[in-house]
Every structure is written in structure tokens, then in C-alpha cells.
Amino acid sequence: MNVLKPRQPVPALEVDTLDGSWSLADQTPENFMMIVFYRGLHCPICTKYINELDRLSDDFAEIGVQTLALSGDTRERAEQARQDWELSNLMVGYGISVEQAREWGLHRSAGRGKTSIGIEEPAEFSEPGLFIVRPDHTLYWSQISTMPFARPHFREVIGSLKFALEKDYPARGELS
């Protein structure tokens, strides 16, 4: 598993989204690009989490942060998530590969049948990760997890990024 370091370039990322192809190399955010890896349609916690991100996407845009949510789901499952979770503002990516998950340092899990919401887990999937990337494609902030719960709250992320921008706060955790 790869460990990304702040102030260092992040891996290249090209994915399919429900709105077409997306490449990190083509993104030019005012302040940051926020990439949120979620477990997939099967995850009841992702439902609430990604829905919160969808509701707050305009608040992120106001502070110059572009957002992308993506998973290893198939296009069909990503479309179902968009519909079932009532996502209307968020760019939703799908089909991340095992190699991409490893490059970004995500933990992987094996499927264990149906979840509490009655949806079958894929054979393999990535656990959550949140990455804040500067316009020069270096890592500013990351949070990865081995579990579906206890993720950063997006309202707190907005407040933290506002503070970081106001104070020109440097990326931390850069030492090996």
C-alpha cells in the first residue's frame, strides 16, 4: 500500500463519471480539489455521507473547492446510487481499479454478502478516503480509514479549509 505525503504530487487519476471522463490533470480549481472515495452503493453509511457532500457542494464551490465522489462500483450501481441517494449536484465517478486504490493508499476489503440495507457487497471494494489536492496536484490533506464509520464531517472540512486559506496554513505531515 502506498502512503501519500503532503506537499508531494498525488498519483495521476483518470476515471469515468456519470457525466463523462474525468482527469485530475485537467482540473484547475481555484484552491483545492477534494476527492472522496466511498465504499459503494452497498454501504448504508455512504448513503448519508455522500448525500451530505452533495448538499454542501455549493458551499465547497464558494471557497474554491471542486468535489468528486468515486468508488469501485459499476456504472449501473453508481447510477442507482445517484438516483436512490437523490444526488443532484455532485460529480460521481465509478470503476476505480485495485491499482488506483493502491496508488492512493486506500484499504481494501473482501465482500461479505448483503449489508444491513439488503444490497450485496462487491467481491472486493475500497474503504473510505478523503484527499484535498492543491491546484499544482500536490497533496494538502488526506484521511483514510479501514472502516466505514467515523469519517470527517463535511461542515468541519469546510470550516477547516476556510481557516487554512485565511491563515495560509501549510500542509502538515510531510516528514517521513
pLDDT per 10-residue tile (average), the chain, 176 residues: 92 98 97 98 96 98 98 98 97 97 97 92 96 98 95 97 98 93
Q: Say if residues 82 and 92 touch (Cβ distance below 8 Å).
A: yes
| Structural domain span for residue 154 | 19-167
Confirm whether 13 is domain-assigned.
no
**Helices marked H in the chain — which ranges?**
44-62, 75-84, 98-103, 154-167
Query: What's the residue count for the chain?
Result: 176
Number of domains, the chain:
1
Q: Say if residues 90 and 22 touch (Cβ distance below 8 Å).
A: no
Confirm whether 89 is domain-assigned.
yes
Confirm whether 74 is domain-assigned.
yes
Tell me, what's the pLDDT at 147?
Answer: 94
Tell me, what's the pLDDT at 41?
Answer: 98
Confirm whether 162 is domain-assigned.
yes
CATH code of 120's domain: 3.40.30.10
Confirm whether 158 is domain-assigned.
yes
Residue 81: strand, helix, or coil: helix
Tell me, what's the pLDDT at 176?
Answer: 84
Tell me, what's the pLDDT at 1?
Answer: 66
Confirm whether 106 is domain-assigned.
yes
Confirm whether 145 is domain-assigned.
yes
Tell me, what's the pLDDT at 18?
Answer: 98
* Dist CA 145 CA 88 (whole Å): 26
Q: Say if residues 63 and 31 touch (Cβ distance below 8 Å).
A: yes
Q: Say if residues 30 and 17 touch (Cβ distance below 8 Å).
A: no
Sheet of strand 139-144: strand arrangement: 20-23, 14-17, 92-94, 65-70, 32-37, 129-133, 139-144
Confirm whether 88 is domain-assigned.
yes
Tell me, what's the pLDDT at 2?
Answer: 83
DSSP states of 87-124 as a string? --S--EEE---HHHHHHTT--EEE--SB-TTS-BPPSE
